[in-house]
Structure 1
Amino acid sequence: MPRTGKFPLALRTASALVVGALTLAVTSACAHATAGTSSAAGGGSTGTSSGTAASSLRLGYFANVTHSTAIAEVANGTLAKDLGSTTLSTTIFNAGPAEMTALLSGQLDAAYVGPSSALSAWTKSDKQGLTIVAGAETGGAELVVDSSITSAAQLKGKTIASPQLGNTQDVALRYWLKQQGYTTNEQGGGDVSIQPEANATTLSLFEQGKIQGAWVPEPWASRLVVEGKGHVLVDEKSLWPAGEFATTNLVVNTAYLKAHPQTVAELLDAQIAVNKWITANPAAAQTLISGAIKKLTGSTIKASEIERAWTEESVTNDPLVSSLQTSLDHAVADGLLKSTSLTGIFDLTLLNQELTKAGETTVSTS
Structure 2
Amino acid sequence: MVAMKRWLPVATVGLLLAGCASAATENGLRLGYLGNLTHATAIVGVANGLLAKSLGDTRLTTQVFNAGPAEMTALLGGQLDAAYVGPSSALNGYVRSHGQALKIIAGATMGGAELVVRSSIDSVAQLKGKTLATPQLGNTQDVALRYWLSQHDLKTSTDGSGDVAIRPQDNATTLDQFRAGKIDGAWLPEPWASRLVVEAQAKVLVDERDLWPDGRFASTDLVVSTKFLREHPETVRRLIAGELATNDWISNSAVQAAKTVNTELQRLSGAKLTDEEIARAWGQQQVTDDPLASTVGVQADHAVTVGLMSAIDLRGIVDVGPLNEALTAAGKQKVDDAGLGAKQ
Give 1:179's match in structure 2, choosing from 151, 158, 164: 151
The answer on whether the counterparts of 1:130 and 1:251 sit within 8 Å (CA) in structure 2 is yes
- Residue 91 (str. 1) matches residue 84 (str. 2): no
Structure 2 runs not aligned, ≥5 long: 339-344
- Residue 15 (str. 1) matches residue 8 (str. 2): yes
| Correspondences of 1:116-135 after superposition (within 5 Å) | 116-135=88-107
* Shift of residue 84, structure 1, vs aligned partner: 1.4
Whole-angstrom CA distance in 2 between matches of 1:66 and 1:22: 28
1:363 maps to which residue? Answer: 335
- Residue 104 (str. 1) matches residue 76 (str. 2): yes
Would you identify which runs of 4 or more consecutive aligned residues in structure 1 move more than 6 Å? 23-29
Counterpart residue type for residue 119 of structure 1: L
* 3-state DSSP of counterpart to 1:227: helix
Whole-angstrom CA distance in 2 between matches of 1:144 and 1:22: 35
Structure 1 runs not aligned, ≥5 long: 1-7, 30-52
* Shift of residue 54, structure 1, vs aligned partner: 6.5
* 3-state DSSP of counterpart to 2:336: coil
The answer on whether the counterparts of 1:137 and 1:316 sit within 8 Å (CA) in structure 2 is yes
1:227 maps to which residue? Answer: 199
Whole-angstrom CA distance in 1 between matches of 2:249 and 2:332: 13
CA-to-aligned-CA distance 1:103-142 (integer Å, 9 cap, x gap): 0000000000001110011011010000000011000000
Query: CA distance change for structure 1 residues 352 and 184 in 2, over 3 Å: closer, same or farther?
Result: same
| Correspondences of 1:167-206 after superposition (within 5 Å) | 167-206=139-178
| Correspondences of 1:297-336 after superposition (within 5 Å) | 297-336=269-308
* Shift of residue 297, structure 1, vs aligned partner: 1.4
Whole-angstrom CA distance in 2 between matches of 1:175 and 1:144: 16
CA-to-aligned-CA distance 1:39-78 (integer Å, 9 cap, x gap): xxxxxxxxxxxxxx96010000011110000000000111
Q: TM-score, normalised by structure 2?
A: 0.94
Q: Please, what is the CA RMSD of the aligned residues?
A: 2.0
CA-to-aligned-CA distance 1:279-334 (integer Å, 9 cap, x gap): 11110110011111111111111111110011110000001111111101100110
2:42 maps to which residue? Answer: 70
The answer on whether the counterparts of 1:19 and 1:98 sit within 8 Å (CA) in structure 2 is no
Q: TM-score, normalised by structure 1?
A: 0.88
The answer on whether the counterparts of 1:20 and 1:99 sit within 8 Å (CA) in structure 2 is no
Whole-angstrom CA distance in 1 between matches of 2:102 and 2:314: 12
* 3-state DSSP of counterpart to 1:106: coil
* Shift of residue 23, structure 1, vs aligned partner: 8.9
Whole-angstrom CA distance in 2 between matches of 1:16 and 1:315: 28
Relative CO higher for 1 or 2, CA cutoff 8 Å, sep ≥ 6?
1
* Shift of residue 361, structure 1, vs aligned partner: 2.1
Whole-angstrom CA distance in 2 between matches of 1:23 and 1:180: 41
Whole-angstrom CA distance in 1 between matches of 2:96 and 2:3: 32
Counterpart residue type for residue 8 of structure 2: S
The answer on whether the counterparts of 1:19 and 1:101 sit within 8 Å (CA) in structure 2 is no
1:241 maps to which residue? Answer: 213
Give 2:258's match in structure 1, choosing from 274, 283, 286: 286
